[in-house]
């Protein structure tokens, strides 16, 4: 069958459109991790992905998510599973690197296992409500059950007020970029960049607001 120029043009246009839509989401380029930083008994790849710093303003300066991948033993893999280990405040790459061998066994070794340091942890948009360690320590230690004394409830309330004001003074710019809604969008950005079946396979603790 002879392909007419018009049919050929249509086919090329469709190809170009498909390629343009695939190119819209950036890809992650993976390289072996620095073994000093992420020691592991099995291979680990590290990569970064640029995502919107502020998903409510897509023109905002991008944020680089730091990712770590434990590749499936059999390749091609059946896809990726994304992990978020919680903390709060713990970077996820070190945890995935440390627990990679056991998580690989638990998941059948046919999936690539991926974690990224969530916003507010690691090098990704670091933040603290406090400017000195004394304030951080006071925040950590000054906790008592509300029924532990006559004054415990009022004291806890006042402590909460002080903490909230510290956050407003010292982290006002950053804190609005750290919500669960943005972390959930980061997960989907990673799924889009992986360009597998478009499904999010997720193992983690519930993200808190």
Ligand X SMILES: *[C@@H]1O[C@H](CO)[C@@H](O)[C@H](O)[C@H]1NC(C)=O
Would you mind telling me the total number of residues written for the chain in this entry? 209
- How many angstroms separate the CA atoms of 147 and 150, rounded? 7
Tokens encoding 104: 């690989």
Q: Which of 4, 21, 36, 132 binds ligand X (CB under 6 A)?
A: 36
Contact track, ligand X, 102-121, x by CB under 6 A: --------x-----------
- How many angstroms separate the CA atoms of 182 and 54, rounded? 8
Number of chain residues interacting with ligand X (CB under 6 A): 13
Question: Which residue number, 21 or 57, has a Cβ lying nearer to ligand X?
Answer: 57
Q: Does 74 bind ligand X (CB under 6 A)?
A: yes
Question: Which residue number, 177 or 193, has a Cβ lying nearer to ligand X?
Answer: 177
Phi, psi dihedral angles at 37 (to 5 degrees): -75, -40
Q: Could you say which DSSP state residue 175 is in?
A: H
Q: How far is the CB of 2 from ligand X (least distance, A)?
A: 39
Q: Which helix (H) or strand (E) holds 20?
A: helix 5-24
Q: What pairs with residue 6 in β-bridges?
A: none
Q: Which of 17, 18, 162, 168 binds ligand X (CB under 6 A)?
A: 168
Task: Compute the C-alpha angle 67/73/77, nearest 5°.
Answer: 70
Q: Which of 3, 7, 13, 148 binds ligand X (CB under 6 A)?
A: 148
Q: How far is the CB of 202 from ligand X (least distance, A)?
A: 18
Binding-site ranges for ligand X (CB under 6 A): 34, 36-37, 74, 76, 78, 110, 145, 147-148, 168, 172, 176
């Amino acid at each position: 069958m002879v392909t007419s120029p018009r049919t050929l043009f249509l086919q090329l246009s469709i190809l170009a459109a498909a390629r343009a839509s695939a190119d819209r989401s950036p890809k992650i380029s993976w390289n072996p991790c620095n073994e000093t930083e992420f020691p592991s008994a099995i291979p680990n790849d590290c990569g970064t992905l640029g995502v919107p710093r502020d998903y409510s303003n897509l023109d905002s300066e991008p944020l680089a998510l730091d990712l770590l991948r434990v590749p499936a033993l059999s390749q091609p893999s059946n896809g990726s599973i994304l992990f978020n280990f919680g903390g709060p405040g713990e970077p996820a790459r070190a945890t995935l690197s440390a627990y990679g061998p056991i998580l690989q066994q638990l998941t059948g070794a046919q999936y690539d296992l991926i974690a990224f340091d969530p916003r507010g942890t690691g090098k990704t948009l670091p933040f603290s409500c406090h400017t000195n360690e004394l304030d951080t320590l006071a925040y950590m230690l000054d906790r008592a059950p509300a029924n532990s004394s006559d004054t415990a409830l009022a004291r806890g309330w006042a402590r909460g007020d002080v903490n909230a004001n510290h956050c407003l003074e010292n982290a006002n710019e950053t804190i609005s970029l750290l919500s669960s809604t943005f972390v959930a969008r980061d997960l989907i950005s990673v799924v889009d960049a992986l360009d597998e079946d478009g499904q999010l396979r997720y193992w983690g603790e519930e993200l808190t607001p």
